[in-house]
Structures are given as structure tokens and as C-alpha cells.
Amino acid sequence: MKKPLILLTNDDGITAPGLRSLIAFMKEIGEVVVVAPDSPQSGMGHAITIDNTLYSKRVIIDKEKGAPIEYSCSGTPADCVKLGLQEILDRRPDIVVSGINHGSNASINVIYSGTMSAAIEAGIEGIPAIGFSLCDYGWDADFSKCKEFVQKIVIQALNYGIPKGTVLNVNIPKAAQQIPKGIKVCRQAKANWKEKFDKRISPTGKEYYWLTGKFELLDKGEDTDQFALSQGYVSVVPTQFDLTAHHTIQTINNWNLNE
């Protein structure tokens, strides 16, 4: 049987350890093609390049036998998926996998995530897609304990499919002395960032601002991604990109909009 074609991308850049680990995991499952940003693009959300030129080139990072085809891209994670689907691949991929992100994309973080926006871009095109994140921001994070769970989820998605209009947001607790306890399918926890701008002065005397913030969990539910992670489980949140608040349509219809 022909191996599944897997398109990989991320938002931390093509040389990021998380992506290099993901490549190694996916090579054991299918044929891998990588299209990833040539520099870090964290926090880009679903931005696309429309007012600048977009560049892409074939690169060789892994010189070992059986290394995947890789392309770097000057654009955002969403650009990478668009370019991969439209210009680089010669056939439709069976799945798009984004990550492994350095840091959590659970709860409200999904809104800002370039990792998840890449997966969502694939989902918009009707392609099964998953975004993986490890809750460890360190560049030297240990991704080895992710392998079992990443491979299991991708294989199950290939076997069973992912419902249309949905992508999977997978977060893995920070690797400590033990591997995660298991996998839990969850809802997105209600949370927010209490943000603050730190006003600073540059060496040239120019004022500038540095964004800081504190994560505030507003949800005490035990069925959320944040709770699962706190208990040592991998969280899987089915995420939709139809942003319509269907339950409020009737409420808005009750306004006097046509009078």
C-alpha cells in the first residue's frame, strides 16, 4: 500500500527542535514533505502575506539517508500550508501536521497560535489536520516523550478521519520524570491573558514597549484542556473554525435592527 503523504509545518522555524522531532516521528508513518518558515513566526495567528513578496526554496538540513523533502518559506505558517498545497506538492496530502510547538497552545492561546493556524488553513481546504504543542518553552525541551502520543493520534486520524470543519489541537504536558498518563478529549478552557506593556527607553533614547502578561484561568471545570494537562494527561480539543455564535443568533434577531 502507498504510504500516506504527510505535510509538516510549524511556527518556530524550520530548524526548531520540535519540528525536527516531529519529522523523525512522522517518517515512521508516511512520506513526509516539510514546508516551514525560515524564521520564527510565533504568535502570528492566521496572518498571511499579501503586501510583500513571498519566497521559498528547497533546503537540506538532514543529510541522512531517507531525509524528507524540505522547503523553507519567508512567510507565515498559514502561507506555508497554502504554498505547500498549491505549488510544492504534486498531490493532495492525506494529513497536515503542525508543530511540535515550543510552548502551550491550550485554552485561549489557540487564538494567537501560528501552529494551530497552519492546521486550520489545512482544515479550511478539507484536509485532516492536527496541531501539536509541548508545554515547555525551552529550546532544549525534551520531545522524546511525545513520540508515542503524537504517532498514536496521527495514525488514528488517518484511520478514522477527522470530521469536516474540525482540526485537532493537541497539547502535551511538560516532560518531567515520567511520560504522560494518557490522552483525554477535552473542551477548551475559559481563560485570558492579563496583559501589561512595559515601557522602555532604547539606547538611542527612543521609547518602545515590551508586551508582558500573566495567564489567568477562569474555568474550574474538570473536562478542560488545562485541567487534563495539570493532571499529567495529553489534551485533545476538537477545534472548529466556524466562529459563528449560533446560540446568540436569536438574541441579536430580537434587537430592533430594521425599525
pLDDT along the chain (259 residues), means of 10: 92 95 97 95 89 93 86 96 96 96 95 96 97 92 93 97 96 80 96 91 94 90 96 96 93 89
**Residue 41's pLDDT is what?**
87
**Residue 67's pLDDT is what?**
86
Any domain includes 236: yes
**Residue 186's pLDDT is what?**
97
Q: Binding site for a divalent metal cation: residue ranges?
A: 11-12, 42, 101
Beta-ladder partners of 170:
132, 236
The reported pTM is: 0.93
Any domain includes 105: yes
**Residue 177's pLDDT is what?**
55
Any domain includes 76: yes
State the residue range of the domain holding 80: 5-253
Report how far apart, in Å, the C-alpha atoms of 104 and of each of 28, 78, 123, 134, 138 are.
Answer: 25, 19, 21, 6, 11
CATH of the domain at 133: 3.40.1210.10
Any domain includes 259: no
**Residue 2's pLDDT is what?**
84
Q: By the 8 A CB rule, do 26 and 100 touch? A: no
**Residue 195's pLDDT is what?**
86
Q: Binding site: residue ranges?
A: 11-12, 42, 101
Whether residue 100 is preceded by a cis peptide bond, meaning omega within 30 degrees of 0, is yes
The x, y and z cell numbers of residue 148, run together, are: 508515542
Q: Using alpha carbons, select from 29, 8, 28 the residue that is nearest to residue 20.
A: 8
**Residue 131's pLDDT is what?**
98
Per the structure, the count of domains in the chain is 1
